[in-house]
Amino acid sequence: MKFTSFEKAWLRIIGFLAFVIVGVFMIQPLLPAFHIKEEPLADPASLKKLIAGLPLPVPPIETKAEFLGKTVTPPSLTLLSTISRVLGIATSSEEKRIEVDLTRQRVYAFEGTRRVYEFVVSTGKWGATPTGEFIVWAKVRSQKMSGGSGNTYYYLPNVPYVQFFYNNQVDKSRGFSFHGTYWHNNFGHPMSHGCVNMRIEDAKTLFEWTSPAVTDPNAWSTNATSENPGTKVVIYGITPEE
């Protein structure tokens, strides 16, 4: 069967377009951005208030939470009624930073070159934890988090010791954070939708060590300012596939 020059040209165009489409579908799953869901990881209304610089009120008491089809009990709000003094005050020559090693599922806290804390954590499994350099922009004593769908649905009120972080590529509205975790104890393995899950006692220690410092003992939330800036966060490595 012979084709005219016109038909041959169209066949080449169709073949090229088919090649591009197949290539896009093959490459997309390899891109980090493809795995990151755009839905907020924390309560959108609360995030909106924090982004506007407004304080969050004490949340309502809730006694039931759900994670992956299982009902769990959130911690009592009374456990979060007081915040200890800020720990590990660094001098100007001992700048604080947090490092997150996705490969080893670890969080490290540094003052200058000195490592002061190491925590076993759980990072993103159903959504990627972003890599790069970030800043803690807000801290909340407890925060509702919900999302997912079907088998990955979660509704988690009173998530304790939340520290939200962001950069120019990862917007504040995404709600990525470090926080305490009461719905699983599988630390050292990916278990989150993108946040950094920590044992509650570890999250409290990090919360009290980082900036912005909690200057109002009665405030439920604290935003970073130019006078009270947030701690630097560096996230690197490759999350294990489990």
pLDDT band at 145; cut points 50, 70, 90? very high
- Residue 147, sorted as left (phi over 0), alpha (psi -120 to 50) or beta, turns out to be left
Give one DSSP letter per residue of 99-160, joined into a string. EEETTTTEEEEEETTEEEEEEE-B-BSSSPPP-EEEEEEEEEEEEEEEE--GGG-EEEEEEE
* Residue ranges covered by each domain of the chain: 41-236
Residue 80's pLDDT is what? 75
Give pLDDT, residue 33. 40
* CATH code for the domain defined by 41-236: 2.40.440.10
236 and 131 Cβ atoms separated by less than 8 Å: yes
**In this structure, how many other beta carbons lie within 10 angstroms of the beta carbon of residue 192?**
25
Q: What is the pLDDT of residue 39?
A: 80
Which tens digits make up the pLDDT trace of 3-37? 576 666 666 777 666 665 655 445 544 444 444 44
| Average pLDDT value for the chain | 86
Task: Compute, in degrees rounded to 10, the torsion defined by CA atoms 46, 234, 118, 210.
Answer: -50
Q: Model confidence over 201-228: pLDDT tens digits?
A: 999 999 999 999 998 888 999 999 999 9
